Amino acid sequence: MADTTNTAHFNRARSAAENPVKRFFRATEIDTRLLGMVGAMLIIWIGFNFLSGGLFLTPRNLWNLSVQTASVAVMATGMVLVIVTRNIDLSVGSILGFVGMIMGVLQAELLPQVLGFNHPATWIITLLAGLSLGAAIGALHGMIIAFLNVPSFIVTLGGLLIWRGATWFVTSGRTVAPMDATFRLMGGGTEGSIGATASWIVGLLACLAIVASIINARKQRKRFGFPRRPVWAEYFLSGIGCALVLGAVAIANSYPWPANIARKYAEANGIAWPEGGLFIAHGIAIPVLIAIVIGIVMTFIATRLRFGRYVFAIGGNPEAAELAGIKTRWVTVRIFALMGMLCAVAAAISTARLNAATNAQGELDELYTIAAAVIGGTSLAGGMGTIAGAMLGALVMQSLQSGMVLLGIDSPLQRIVVGVVLVTAVWLDTIYRARAK
Amino acid sequence: MTDQRTPLVEMKNISISFGGIHAVDNASVDLYPGEVVALLGHNGAGKSTLIKILSGAYRRDAGEILINGEPADIHNPRDAKKYGIETIYQTLAVADNVDAAANLYLGRELRTPWGTLDDVAMEAKAREVMGRLNPNFQRFKEPVKALSGGQRQSVAIARAILFNARILIMDEPTAALGPQETAQVGELIKQLKREGIGIFLISHDIHDVFDLADRVSVMKNGQVVGHARTEDVTKDEVLGMIIMGKVPPKAIPGPGAMQMA
């Protein structure tokens, strides 16, 4: 194909004139914005580690950080799609509270009457009911927005008040506890982690998937004779990807169970208690695994499916999308239904982690979720945003918070810092984007 | 008209009003295969509105649309596309934030057997079509926002011809273009005409119109002033129709023609 050779020449001519750093980024096609965020996060981590005298970058703290991030990270993936289509969802925290309370009552009070306590099906029935309820609430919001033309800001502001109020009415404000034993695994902890061996297996599978997807992408481009990345860049990307995955697994695997739990476990299983204590690794926590799987699924939806393409097209130019024959209203309904489902997942994680469903669960989560998406590069003007960025944004927010807790900073000051960071991050992003043009 | 063939498109007695204002009032136009009909008129004369009824963006209040002599049901842009009607809008109507291939296939994406987007196949086809329209175009990986006006225009045109349109509506196709690109669009229109596609051309540029169109239909205040073959009238006469609604002797007057006292 004449075209391809032209492009290749053109690219080579262009890259020869660039400095090595630029050439490196062009070859690897790494998103420099995302890289900047990773850099900012590392600075935050190292800063806190220094200030706390080495308490931040420990397997224990990083493991806890990952678990604390899971719930908001899950919701942030959906918030990206909402914001990309120039909408907003202020009700996610209240939906989380309401769905969490319903799931709590279902598994702690209603289902045991029918199935008996700790029935193996309790958790799945509860979860499915929660997901359906979340989707239904989201779809209701979406329909009011799409078909009655009420702005999403108002609809979900109403939702924020309504569902928080509804949460109270479910039990007249009473906290529901404890949760079903299996359900509780979704919250993490020693039980809710998959252990060292399984973590390594997950890590290796992830590495295989990374390599396979890079090879597949290259094959596809070869098939149609498109320009491809240089081979060294492919090796580099595979290497970096696998190193990150395996590094994360290694950290999760070097955080042992607390001594008293390990001792109980040893006694229960007839293992002799060794001198230096028994080292049983946590491994990856189940909520983190859930969040990662959801991140992958949402990325797939956003980039590989027609629905995702429509979401971005609507965000870029709603009129063009409509004229191209896209059923924009139904896409909106589906986005909000999806958001509601993700709130239900987040509700499961947070009620399981707390081992209770409370009235105040998820309060202010809408703001952290929006902040995570926006820090992660989702543009409020619509049309731009990535799932991975939003999840990273959630991790940055959580890092700040738990770092400040570690330093013993008072909670009013924590909020001030988080607020300042949010505004600064978006300001820096605006400058970056203006330059990138 | 002496033409005895069945018109490709016949819009009969179309009316639409927005909040009491008759944007289009009892307008009739037709189009034959391989013909370019220019719709002329001032801003707000109702040309774009009339054409948006054909492309499914607006729903008519009254009147009838016949495609190949048969009544057509057009309620939305999807319906129009089913009849082979493709539109290039004045505003280009491209999604700025996605790349050229995504725009070409917007609403009609190619999919793999697993139901996922077949981006590679779409890009391959996009490269082929764009190569024909605009051989210099190479920026397939960038969002359309990064492209020049002419390049965006080629994307919008490529989208219209990609799906074997039989009826093409071009609303100010050269408004954003330089002279060279305008000439390219002119060439393209002639080529499409030879392929038997019927084209409605909305334009302000009377020179363009006389170069490209076989007939003109002039609108004023939502009504059709009249129709004429371009060879039968002069530019001044057409301007007279646009400005005063004065119909020259060789043109066929419509309901909007100036009443001779």
Domain boundaries, chain B: 1-83+165-260, 95-163
Residues of A in contact with B153 (CB under 8 A): none
Can you name the CATH fold of B1-83+165-260? Answer: Rossmann fold (3.40.50)
Residues of A in contact with B89 (CB under 8 A): 323
Amino acid A181: pLDDT: 92
Please compute the mean of the pLDDT values over residues A304-325 and round it to a whole number.
92
Its pTM stands at 0.87
Question: Between the CA atoms of A32, A36, A37 and A43, what dihedral angle is there, to the nearest 10 degrees?
Answer: 160
Amino acid B130: pLDDT: 84
* pLDDT > 70 in chain A, percent: 95
Give the model confidence (pLDDT) of B208-250 as tens digits. Answer: 888 889 999 999 888 889 888 988 888 888 888 888 888 888 8
Amino acid A435: pLDDT: 77
Using DSSP bridges, classify how beta strands B85-88 and B21-31 pair: parallel, antiparallel or unpaired: unpaired
Amino acid A219: pLDDT: 87
Residues of B in contact with A313 (CB under 8 A): 95, 97-98, 102, 106
Amino acid A437: pLDDT: 59
* Whether A129 contacts A106, CB under 8 Å: yes
pLDDT at A6 over 50: no
pLDDT at A416 over 80: yes
Q: With an 8 Å Cβ cutoff, are A320 and B87 in contact? A: no
Residues of A in contact with B99 (CB under 8 A): none
Average pLDDT of chain B to the nearest whole number? 85
Amino acid A47: pLDDT: 94
A243 shares contact with chain B (CB less than 8 Å): no
- Confidence band (pLDDT; 50, 70, 90) for B259? low
Which residue, A377, A417, A405, A414, is CA-closest to A393? A377
Residue A194 to residue A196: CA distance in whole angstroms: 7
Amino acid A36: pLDDT: 85
A322 shares contact with chain B (CB less than 8 Å): yes
- Confidence band (pLDDT; 50, 70, 90) for B253? confident
Q: With an 8 Å Cβ cutoff, are A323 and B109 in contact? A: no
A12 shares contact with chain B (CB less than 8 Å): no
Residues of B in contact with A85 (CB under 8 A): none
Distances in Å between the alpha carbon of A137 and those of A98, A99, A324, A342?
A: 10, 9, 29, 12
Q: With an 8 Å Cβ cutoff, are B57 and A323 in contact? A: yes
Give the model confidence (pLDDT) of B159-206 as tens digits. Answer: 888 887 889 998 887 776 777 778 878 888 888 888 888 999 998 788
Q: Which of B108, B120, B127 sits opposite A221 (nearest CB)?
A: B120
| A178's tokens | 């404890």
Residues of A in contact with B55 (CB under 8 A): 323
Please compute the mean of the pLDDT values over residues A370-374 and round it to a whole number.
94
Q: How distant is the Cα of B198 from the closest Cα of chain A, in angstroms?
A: 20
Q: Which of A14-23, B135-144, B195-204 has the highest mean pLDDT?
A: B195-204
Residue B35 backbone dihedrals phi, psi, to 5 degrees: -120, 150
Which residue, A101, A246, A248, A264, is CA-closest to A191? A264
Query: Which chain A residue is nearest to residue B77, measuring alpha carbons?
Result: A325
Query: Which of B74, B85, B106, B155 is most worth mutating to test chain A (most A CB atoms within 10 A of its CB)?
Result: B106
pLDDT at A263 over 60: yes
Please compute the mean of the pLDDT values over residues A131-141 and round it to a whole number.
98
* Whether A88 contacts A335, CB under 8 Å: no
Amino acid A327: pLDDT: 92
Give the model confidence (pLDDT) of A40-49 as tens digits. Answer: 899 999 999 9
Q: With an 8 Å Cβ cutoff, are A3 and B131 in contact? A: yes
* pLDDT > 90 in chain A, percent: 68
Residue B196 to residue A1: CA distance in whole angstroms: 30
- Confidence band (pLDDT; 50, 70, 90) for A433? confident
Q: Which of A208-222, A284-298, A377-391, B148-162 has the highest mean pLDDT?
A: A284-298
Q: How distant is the Cα of A308 from the closest Cα of chain B, in angstroms?
A: 10
- Interface residue ranges in chain B relative to chain A, Cβ cutoff 8 Å: 55, 57, 76-78, 81, 87, 89, 91-98, 102, 106-109, 111, 115-117, 120-121, 123-124, 127, 131, 138, 143
Query: Which chain A residue is nearest to residue B96, measuring alpha carbons?
Result: A316
Amino acid A13: pLDDT: 45
Residue length of chain B: 261
Please compute the mean of the pLDDT values over residues A397-418 and round it to a whole number.
91
**At a CB cut-off of 8 Å and minimum separation 6, what does B128 contact?**
none
A384 shares contact with chain B (CB less than 8 Å): yes
B94 three-class SS? coil
Residue type at position B261? A
pLDDT at B146 over 90: no
Amino acid B177: pLDDT: 74
Residues of B in contact with A3 (CB under 8 A): 127, 131, 138
* Alpha helices for A116-230 (secondary structure H): 122-147, 152-171, 195-223
Amino acid A11: pLDDT: 46
pLDDT at A188 over 80: yes
Burial of A67 per CB tally in 10 Å (0-12, 13-18, 19+): buried
Lowest mean pLDDT among A117-121, A331-335, B102-106: A117-121
- Confidence band (pLDDT; 50, 70, 90) for B3? low
| ipTM beyond cut 0.95 | no
Average pLDDT of chain A to the nearest whole number? 90
Which run of H or E residues covers position B169?
A: strand B167-171
pLDDT at A4 over 50: no
